[in-house]
Copies of this chain bind each other. A is one copy, B any other.
Amino acid sequence: MARPKSDDKHNALLLAAEQVFAQRGLAAAPTSAISKQAGVAEGTLFTYFRTKDELVNALYRAIKLDLADALMTRFPRTGPVRDRLEYLWDAFVDWGVANPQRLNVLDQLSVADRVSEESKAVGYEPFAEIEALAQHSIETGVLHAYPVAFIAATMKSMAETTMAFMTQYPAEAGQYRTIGFKVFWSGIACNTDS
């Protein structure tokens, strides 16, 4: 018996949770609303996720995985550092603008204490390669010798700021995307031109 429970329902519940969290906020989202949105009975939710917390954590990981997929799948493993980082940047903000609801929920979950440390660690893993890139770039003198975690966090927070403006002013989205990266790159690169 490989997997008796339906993948469809599992995913429907995750998607429903995302929608409900986006609409009503993580705090004010009863499980009943989630199961309703997913088109299943209230009790069914609990055969797929033992508790609400488990659902929340699963959703966090799913979103992070989706994001990782968007960033890392076609990530160029060669070429100039600037180009490779810009690839990540564009992939990130494009993902955020294309999935504003998902981004919104990710923001909520990142602050919520319902998400366990373990989930955060798991969610971070796919992005470790970025830190490796940063580490290498520091050693080759392309980036300033700041802690890599700090560089990664800077990238994340600046990208999120950028996404917020892109979402708010869709007409200028392209400009914000460019500006955002320039600010970020200028902040961390030794030689801005490279």
Contacts and interface: CB of A to CB of B under 8 A. Distances in A.
Interface string A151-194: 00110111011001100000000001001101110111000000
Nearest to A159: B157
Contacts of A2: 41, 43
Interface residues of A, number: 34
A158 B160 CA distance: 11
A112 interface: yes
Interface in A31-87: 41, 43
Interface of A: 2, 25-27, 41, 43, 107-108, 111-113, 144, 146-147, 149-150, 153-154, 156-158, 160-161, 164-165, 176, 179-180, 182-184, 186-188
